[in-house]
Chains A and B, each alone.
Chain A
Amino acid sequence: MAESGLKSSTVSANDYDEAQEYFYAQGMTDGLPIVPPTAERVVAMVEASGRNANDSLGQVHPAVAEATIEKVAVNAVMAGCLPEYMPVVAAAVEAMVEERFYLYAIQTTTNSAGVGIVVNGPVRHAIGMNCDSGCLGPGNRANASIGRAIRFVLLNIGGAVHGEVDKATQGFPGKFTLCFAENEEASPWEPLHVERGFSPNESCVTVIAPNATLNCTAGDRVIVEHGLAALAATMTAPAITQFSLFHGEPMVVLNPVHAQVLAEAGWSKADLKRYFHEHTRLPGELLSSVARSRRETRPDQIIDGMYPMVQSPDHWMITVAGGRGGLHSTFMPSFGEPQSITKPIHL
């Protein structure tokens, strides 16, 4: 791509179908068709990043390859991103290469885990993200393609070739794409990025390591009385995987109605974190010896033989997203040791 100023090698294809087959043959897709990363499209993506093509966002494991803006842009084009999504993709890459995120483990584990992305701040509306009804499902280009771009970065830069390096026993559909925006306007509490020290007017991305999205149903008006217990019970048993290690950070995505009813009853985010921490314990006999021994390093957290899911209430993340249909909130258990990372988006 010398004429464009890009460094990537080029291949020629006679038509769209031939280009698709090339990318399939190279193992560079997620199994779905891609947008051919022509020089023109990649240049537009690089320019939208506001950075130089050669700038590195960090090294992506296990290939330990530099995630340059140009390489990330190629993958963002392939995923179907519009150029205006590129700053979000770049910030997500910067976040996930931080050591505390343990990307090597996420990329190579037999666990189902993938990389999930939560977007906060004004950029959500500026690029038309969905934080409302169906925000964890299909239908929104920004949500879908930003998450998919991250998957391509993990595959094509990080080297997570299915079966060879990515050793997931089964995987989960969120590994295709898992990106949503928090519904800050409908939340009674401060959004995730503000909780982490950023200004409400800043745009931020948070990377998490979920291995499932679990629907938790509870009636809106009864949630304060016994719905929280139902949510906690729903979370606990399927989250055995969360118990396998001790440092993960599960996320609860409350729908706006659940959040509003809880807030009106006086619940804060901190209260909810403490509640979920205390009410999602399991008896030691259900845990592996490794899971037990890790928790026994914190005997203060073991109560009457009941072991906590994570180290402390602060390891729980509470967000608000979705529509006002009510009833349904979501629990995302996380994998192993990764700690979520929040980064500002450079617009």
Chain B
Amino acid sequence: MTLSTKFFQGLAIASAKGRGMSSLPQVILPWPYDTLEDSTVREIAYRALDEVVRALVVPNKGVVEVSINSD
């Protein structure tokens, strides 16, 4: 799977395609981070971790975007 921010999603797709893995599951994190509180960034990281594990164990997971807010 590939993990990137929204900002680098195009690059992540291009890199995966270049390596012959166009269908690689993606977990996309929100962006930018600079304006977020540390606590919010940590919360995003925890939720992203769940999605990373799912992407690794569930076939054909596709693209999952992790939002800033959990609800």
Residues on A close to B: CB < 8 A?
Answer: 61-65, 104, 108, 159, 161, 163-165, 167
> Complex Cα distance A267/B25, Å?
58
> Complex Cα distance A165/B14, Å?
7
- Residues from chain B with a CB closer than 8 A to the CB of A159 are 14, 18
Residue from B7, B15, B17, B18 whose CB has the most chain A CB atoms within 10 Å: B18
Nearest neighbor of A62 in chain B, beta-carbon distance:
B15
Nearest chain B CB to A59 CB, angstrom units: 9
What are the 10 tightest A-B residue pairs by CB atom distance, in nearest-first order? Answer: A64-B18, A164-B10, A63-B18, A62-B15, A165-B14, A165-B11, A108-B11, A62-B18, A159-B14, A62-B14
- Residues from chain A with a CB closer than 8 A to the CB of B11 are 62, 108, 164-165, 167
List 19 A-B pairs, Cβ < 8 Å.
Answer: A61-B18, A62-B11, A62-B14, A62-B15, A63-B14, A63-B18, A64-B18, A64-B19, A65-B18, A104-B15, A108-B8, A108-B11, A159-B14, A159-B18, A161-B10, A161-B14, A163-B10, A164-B14, A167-B7
- Residues from chain A with a CB closer than 8 A to the CB of B8 are 108, 167
Say what secondary structure dominates the interface of chain B: helix
Nearest chain A CB to B66 CB, angstrom units: 20
Nearest neighbor of B20 in chain A, beta-carbon distance:
A64
Chain B interface residue count, Cβ-Cβ cutoff 8 angstroms: 9
> Complex Cα distance A163/B17, Å?
17
- Residues from chain A with a CB closer than 8 A to the CB of B7 are 167
Nearest neighbor of A107 in chain B, beta-carbon distance:
B11
> Complex Cα distance A164/B6, Å?
11
Nearest chain B CB to A162 CB, angstrom units: 11
Residues on B close to A: CB < 8 A?
Answer: 7-8, 10-11, 14-15, 17-19
Nearest neighbor of B7 in chain A, beta-carbon distance:
A167
> Complex Cα distance A330/B14, Å?
36
Nearest neighbor of B19 in chain A, beta-carbon distance:
A64
Nearest chain A CB to B46 CB, angstrom units: 24
- In the complex, besides A64-B19, A165-B10, 9 extra interface pairs with C-beta distance below 8 angstroms are A62-B14, A63-B17, A65-B18, A108-B8, A159-B14, A161-B14, A163-B10, A167-B8, A167-B11
Nearest neighbor of B8 in chain A, beta-carbon distance:
A167
- Residues from chain A with a CB closer than 8 A to the CB of B15 are 62, 104
Nearest neighbor of B15 in chain A, beta-carbon distance:
A62
> Complex Cα distance A167/B9, Å?
11
- Residues from chain A with a CB closer than 8 A to the CB of B19 are 64
> Complex Cα distance A65/B17, Å?
10
Nearest chain B CB to A68 CB, angstrom units: 16
- Residues from chain A with a CB closer than 8 A to the CB of B17 are 63
Nearest neighbor of B9 in chain A, beta-carbon distance:
A164
- Residues from chain B with a CB closer than 8 A to the CB of A63 are 14, 17-18
Nearest neighbor of A166 in chain B, beta-carbon distance:
B11
- Residues from chain B with a CB closer than 8 A to the CB of A62 are 11, 14-15, 18
> Complex Cα distance A104/B8, Å?
14
Residue from A62, A104, A167 whose CB has the most chain B CB atoms within 10 Å: A62
Nearest neighbor of A61 in chain B, beta-carbon distance:
B18
Nearest chain B CB to A171 CB, angstrom units: 15
Nearest chain B CB to A346 CB, angstrom units: 27
Nearest chain B CB to A336 CB, angstrom units: 16
> Complex Cα distance A65/B15, Å?
11
> Complex Cα distance A104/B7, Å?
17
> Complex Cα distance A165/B10, Å?
6
Nearest neighbor of A110 in chain B, beta-carbon distance:
B7
Residue from B7, B8, B14, B15 whose CB has the most chain A CB atoms within 10 Å: B14
Nearest chain A CB to B13 CB, angstrom units: 9
Nearest neighbor of A65 in chain B, beta-carbon distance:
B18
Nearest chain B CB to A71 CB, angstrom units: 15
> Complex Cα distance A206/B17, Å?
30
> Complex Cα distance A161/B14, Å?
10
